[in-house]
Structure 1
Amino acid sequence: MASALQTRINDELKTAMRARDKARVAVLRLINAEFKRIEVDERIELDDARVLAVLDKMLKQRRDSIEQYENAGRTELAEQERAESAVISEFLPQPLTDAELDEIVDKAIAQTGANEMRDMGKVMGLIKPQVQGRADMADVSKRIKASLG
């Protein structure tokens, strides 16, 4: 049984195919191929949490590519990556605000009793499941370092 998110993505793929939206179909097929690769490689069935983690990783890859393409002056490739990012983002939950993120970081630091940089792993371990797909982990890391440092 596929996760609810995978089912939604498959439904969107069918809709895009009927609408003959080639660009959207390509991105949705890319997403499905990544899910299938993981399921085959790891011999598991993805749950919603893992689907979110995969989508989050794909979005991060697109952000990195956009930056590299822009630095290289390849705007057409950067635009393609932006278009893919937009489709992937549709399936991720609403991003956290700065205030919400700061609150989560503060609570996690208090819960773990962290007070120095070597405790960062404990704090990240507690925060990651809460913010998966809703915040950039590099940003979370910076916030933890600022609070602990």
Structure 2
Amino acid sequence: MTLRDRVNTAMKQAMRDKDAGRLATLRLINAAIKDQDIAARGSGSDDGVGDAEVLAILGKMTKQRQESVRAYEEGGRIDLAERERAEVAVIDEFLPRQLNEDEVSDAVDKAISETGATSIRDMGKVMGLLKQNYTGQIDFGAVGPRVKDRLCQGA
């Protein structure tokens, strides 16, 4: 079952359960996927977006909400922060398990060896391979500096 199908199934279940909060978040996910479908259609693809693109959309939505939680907490709006946390929890159901620190280090080592990266110039190759294999499982904003350090040490 594709991620898109899983979201639609969950949305139907939320309607049956009359779970308004969950339903609203699932509708936001569905709308974001449809927006990307429309954008893909404009570039000549009729199929819409695949699971990799859906994972990227979900990752972006999670990151946006986590930033909102921080902003709301700094502003003293705990009620809004809790609502954002609830949305993150719903989105996380569709994302793969996040890798722990050791697994991220192993993935970086493996990507460096597979690409034959030897200098900072090869960082794009390494990050591309990581994104291809670990989309939704790694925070690429945090792993980028780690890859850069590893490549600088090797040079």
| Matched ranges for 1:112-131 at <5 A | 112-131=115-134
Stretch of structure 1 that moved more, 36-45 or 113-122: 113-122
Partners of 1:55 and 1:62 lie apart in 2 by 11
Unaligned regions of 5+ residues in structure 2, if any? none
Partners of 2:123 and 2:68 lie apart in 1 by 28
Unaligned regions of 5+ residues in structure 1, if any? none
Partners of 2:145 and 2:72 lie apart in 1 by 25
Q: In 2 relative to 1, CA 119–66 (structure 1 residues): closer, same or farther, beyond 3 Å?
A: same
The count of residues paired between Structure 1 and Structure 2 equals 147
Is residue 18 of structure 1 aligned with residue 16 of structure 2? yes
- Alignment RMSD, CA only? 1.5
Partners of 2:145 and 2:69 lie apart in 1 by 21
State the match for 1:53 in structure 2. Answer: 56
Q: What TM-score results when the alignment is normalised by the length of structure 2? A: 0.87
Identity over the aligned pairs, expressed in percent?
Answer: 50
Letter in 1 for 2:13: T
State the match for 1:144 in structure 2. Answer: 147
State the match for 2:93 in structure 1. Answer: 90
Partners of 1:63 and 1:129 lie apart in 2 by 24
Partners of 1:138 and 1:101 lie apart in 2 by 13
State the match for 1:5 in structure 2. Answer: 3
Letter in 2 for 1:83: A
**Alpha carbons 2:33, 2:49 under 8 Å: kept:** yes
**Alpha carbons 2:99, 2:138 under 8 Å: kept:** yes
Letter in 2 for 1:117: I
